[in-house]
Structure 1
């Protein structure tokens, strides 16, 4: 896509994140990427992604080798993964689909880590053949790997343990609770000894994996889980009299502050807390693997949506937009845990001015709770204006919900160049067509159920029959 006309900038040589978003919204409206025909779209700030990857690398500088992997589930879009691969990241995957798109994005198998609590034998076999690293979730999975692992496999194999250090503020995002479905529950009776035996019996088992959770988990809780894994590795290596465990996968899960534009907590702050909890983690004896997702992408993406109508109901002002549960699922279903900031823009894509008015920002889905923001003070929105849902670069537009058969929105990457803020866009994912919606809904098998229902067709005494669709013969 050609460069945009120049938009007045902030006068700095490098626009800030808010300035980049403002410029991108304006040009998206000017060029029709947002408008009546394209009422909702996602946007990825490529410069912001680069900055986040750089901050992660700088935070983990030291004498230890480290593989930073991106959790594919946080932005399961091949061009986004390709950008991250180009910036030197690896990829953490948790399904056959995620492994496929990671390979398609150009990640070398040796830089991919497969995590999942329910891997099939075929998934395990495929990963081991490719040389993808595998973190076994449980002892039964280790036995499957025993049977499937080729003699000269290049795959690093690890075992995930649950340190059972407790949960954070969002139970659904906490993976180190006493009864978590993930990993070997380390504090259960006999579990620690079984883990040690598993490593003693398998010379090829060389990695220990821990992960406490993400959103809602304070840094100290995350670090406590990592420290438990580190101490276990030291214990096992000491008992075996050899460095059997050579690498530690410390997971990801850095929480994101959705209240403002700042990156908080930072990767550097996280490493500082880790150094306090487990100083030996960084002395070079263990290679490290990280699996960050949300913290790399959330702040570097936004959703833009058209305001279709506004109305008053029961004394409430409601703006009906095209961004709701289909693309902001977590926020709609768990608004207290996943609040989003909302920006108001006028019909030309410029920030809207005027007195603040308390408004609900609702989506297009056909259920009453489809509201992305309740009672927000914003300049009064009108038909033809736009709203921006900030901090939605991870888990939002990349993994939409097919409720009401609403088509998946287009996603565009953008870059804002220089003080004058010229904007360039690139398509990441095309908007889904209605033909595609119908095809995914079984169009190719439209008559399949009729073949099973010949003896149950209504008779004239059963009432009127629905006539066949125009152009379609009635089923015999």
Structure 2
């Protein structure tokens, strides 16, 4: 099954030109995030269809979007309208999901460090919880007592299958901090016993990893989960495990506009590797994030200055570590494509010139591209960091107290021209000051004044 490019150049070019014309990116607002709403809807539909093609009719499937990938309330509400729920890993992410109107029944709480307060809130709301350790199971014992919980409760396991090409994204290594390690001595038997001792434990969860992971390794992790569920149910003499949460982590192709791999290809591999997964005996939960949004977002930034140093051309822009944190600090693992546009937002022509694309942060390594062949960039031009709809502008790194950029969604109007909506307004300076303790400016100096009242 082939899939057309998620963000073909022509619509992207129209969006960039329109964003510049509208002043969404301007001398006063030199960087912004742009989201292709039609593209996001398309990805959500492809995810649903990919699993529907293999699941028996009537199989309960919840696609819970990993909120960490785009912690923006309008995005979560859009995905909810497209039939998705939310996977949250903190009180803040839960608050965003609730603000987006995502019901508790379509919300899953995962985290290796849930506090008693977080667990109590989730249990009170009826949100599904995946415990990450035996210690957390003991905490749930104390919180639930003998009374049945309205929350579906499960346990995350680590199949310890190994890592991918990016160590930080590999969650199924021997010493991963996530889940119960199944291959440690006695651990599998302890997991089975934990279920038999807790009739209310009805879910199993696995997440092998994210970007840089081979699909075959991800499918093997799901196979291990399925076989564990079968073992528990056999020893329980009943269907105790009713739902399998198979995580997300579908890799994204950052080298071109092609969407690869597709959800359909992954579902087909799962069907071949774990045929029983889709036979209707288990409900399914997925937790995809990056793969739903990456192709549908662009960081657009003005070029402020250009210079030469040591024979190298450098374009200094307003897109650096604050919006492309992983790319700046781990460029080999997280390279991005850069497209050049002129002052009016039109694709820039000209012979490619090898140059660096630098950000505004005050450290030497703040580069989003090194030795990149692009049409010669000049002050007032624009650069677009492609495939950045997930994590980049939605997960801001506040280095140098740089304000969070505005984020805008676009969709084609009746005439084909982009129509716009504000997803997140640019952060104002007074908001930044307030966030940095502006209301408590005298707090520390008062400590040295014995006459000053304590606050």
- Normalized against structure 2, the TM-score is what? 0.95
Cα separation, partners in 2 of 1:390 and 1:229, compared to 1, 3 Å: same
For the 8 Å contact 1:300–1:393, the answer to whether it is kept is yes
1:291-335 per-residue CA deviation (whole Å, 9 max, x = no partner) reads: 000000000111000000000000100000000000000000000
Unaligned runs of 5+ in 2: 451-455
- What is aligned with 2:10? 19
Question: 1-side partners of 2:180 and 2:9: how far apart?
Answer: 43
Q: Greater Rg, structure 1 or structure 2?
A: 1
CA displacement 1:160-191 (0-9 Å, x = unmatched): 00000000000000000000000000000110
- 1:376 has 2:372 as partner: yes
Q: Which residue of 2 aligns with 1:40?
A: 31
CA deviation map 1:405-436 (0-9, x unaligned): 00000000000236x53110000000001111
Structure-1 residue corresponding to 2:431: 436
User: 1:28: which partner in 2?
Assistant: 19
Give yes or no for the alignment of 1:403 onto 2:394: no
The answer (yes or no) to whether the contact 2:38–2:411 under 8 Å persists in 1 is yes
Q: Report the counterpart of residue 287 of structure 1 in structure 2.
A: 283
2:416 corresponding residue in structure 1: 421
Deviates more, 1:150-159 or 1:349-358: 150-159
Q: How far has the Cα of 1:18 moved from its partner?
A: 2.1
8 A Cα contact 1:344 1:386, kept in partner: yes
User: What SS class does the counterpart of residue 214 from structure 1 fall into?
Assistant: coil
Q: How does 1:156-171 map to 2 (within 5 A)?
A: 156-171=152-167
SS in 1 for 2:370: strand
Separation (CA, whole Å) in 1 of partners of 2:242 and 2:119: 22
The residue that corresponds to 2:103 in the other structure is 108
Deviations 1:108-162 (A, max 9, x none): 0010000000000010010000000000001111111111127242210000000
> What SS does the corresponding residue of 2:212 show, helix, strand or coil?
coil
Q: Cα deviation per residue 1:42-62 (whole Å; 9 max; x = unaligned)? A: 011100000000100011012
Question: Is 1:361 aligned to 2:357, yes or no?
Answer: yes
Tell me the distance in 1 between the aligned counterparts of 2:7 and 2:390: 20
Report what 1:96 is aligned to. 91
Q: Distance in 2 between matches of 1:394 and 1:270?
A: 20
Counterpart pick for 1:313 among 286, 295, 309 = 309
Aligned partners of 1:204, 1:15: CA distance in 2, in Å? 42
**TM-score after normalising by structure 1:** 0.91
3-state SS of paired residue (2:443): coil
Q: 1:245 aligns with which of 241, 246, 250?
A: 241
Does the 8 Å contact 1:20/1:421 carry over to 2? no
Deviation at 1:17, TM superposition (A): 3.1
Paired positions, count: 441
SS in 2 for 1:449: helix
Unaligned residue ranges in structure 1 (runs of 5+): 1-13, 456-476
Answer yes or no: is the 8 Å Cα contact 2:249–2:290 preserved in 1: yes
* Cα distance in 1 for residues equivalent to 2:96 and 2:48: 24
Residues 148 and 200, structure 2, Cα contact 8 Å, conserved in 1:
no
Counterpart of 2:453 in structure 1 is none
- How far did residue 19 of structure 1 move? 1.8
Query: Match for 1:189 among 166, 185, 188?
Result: 185
Aligned to 1:450: 445
Partner residue, 2:44: 53
Counterpart CA distance in 1 for 2:413 and 2:368 is 31
Residues 337-370 of structure 1, C-alpha deviation per residue, up to 9 Å, x if partnerless? 0000000000011000011100100000000000
Q: Aligned-residue CA RMSD in angstroms?
A: 1.3
Retained in 2: the 8 A contact 1:310–1:318? Answer: yes
Contact 1:17 1:48 in 2 (8 A): no
Cα 1:348–1:319 change in 2 (3 A) is: same
- Separation in 1 of the partners of 2:64 and 2:443? 43
1:65 aligns with 2:60: yes
Q: Is residue 355–residue 372 contact of structure 2 (8 Å, CA) maintained in 1?
A: yes
Measure the CA separation in 2 of the matches of 1:225 and 1:166. Answer: 10
Give the Cα–Cα distance (whole angstroms) in 2 for the partners of residues 16 and 339 of structure 1: 18
Is 1:344 the counterpart of 2:335? The answer is: no
The 2-side partners of 1:31 and 1:424 are apart by 11
Please name the residue that 1:234 is paired with.
230
> Does the 8 A contact of 1:209 with 1:229 survive in 2?
yes
Summarize the Cα distance change of 1:145–1:15 in structure 2 as closer, same or farther, 3 Å threshold: closer
Confirm or deny: 8 A CA contact 1:361 1:372 kept in the other structure.
yes
Q: How far apart are the structure 1 equivalents of 2:42 and 2:6? A: 13
